[in-house]
Amino acid sequence: MKVERRRELAQKGWREDELRRAEEILDRATAHDLFFSKIVFWSALLVIIFANLTVALILIPFLIALDTGFLYGIIAVLAITIGFLYNFLITDIGLLEKKHHRIASIIVPLIGAGNAVIMVLISNRFVESLQLNLQPHNPWIVAIIFAGAFILPYVADQIRLALKG
């Protein structure tokens, strides 16, 4: 309990034992909320990782059928969409420490980029096996586009918050 609030309650006639009891109850509630916030955080992280994997699987037909320009646009749009979902789920969990957000903002794009690399390699092999007249896609360019577009909503939100307050 904040010192000001404690002083205010004491002026209203609260005894010391009542103030201590109220502090204990508030501390217990905060610990309880933090526990559930961590559960929500890790669940949201799993949802985002699953969404990254799903997008990577959805990209295989596009990787086979499309050339670079339009393909990179589709990858960016899908990554930004998943990035908005990530930003919505992760940043609205207010009781977590900044380290949780920082860890997630590094791990999740890396997993997404890794998924993109794997899917590009799979689609390139598929194109080779079908002997199609298509140039293989560079997996690192696709991964960079995916990771950059994915983290863009989070970075924009962090900049917005820094400028706001």
Q: What is the pLDDT of residues 110-126, one digit of tens each?
A: 888 888 899 899 988 98
Percentage of the chain modeled with pLDDT above 70? 87
Q: Judge whether 114 and 103 are in contact, CB under 8 Å.
A: no
Q: Judge whether 144 and 113 are in contact, CB under 8 Å.
A: yes
Q: Tell which residue, 70, 157, 68, 80, has the closest CA to residue 120.
A: 68
Q: Whole-prediction pTM value?
A: 0.70
Q: What pLDDT is recorded for position 92?
A: 67
Give me the residue spans of the domains in the chain: 38-164
Q: What pLDDT is recorded for position 1?
A: 55
Is a pLDDT exceeding 80 seen at residue 101? no
Is a pLDDT exceeding 60 seen at residue 102? yes
Residue 112 has phi, psi (to 5 degrees) of -60, -40
Q: Judge whether 124 and 55 are in contact, CB under 8 Å.
A: no
Distance CA 17, CA 73 (A): 64
Q: What pLDDT is recorded for position 112?
A: 83
User: Distance of CA 130 to CAs 23, 97, 123, 134, Å?
Assistant: 69, 50, 11, 10
Q: Which amino acid is at 69?
A: G
Spatial CB neighbours of 123, under 8 Å, sequence gap ≥ 6:
59, 60, 63, 64, 137
Residue 138 has phi, psi (to 5 degrees) of -80, 115
Helix and strand element counts for the chain (H, E): 5, 0
Q: Judge whether 121 and 138 are in contact, CB under 8 Å.
A: no
Q: Which amino acid is at 141?
A: I
Tokens of 51: 């969404």
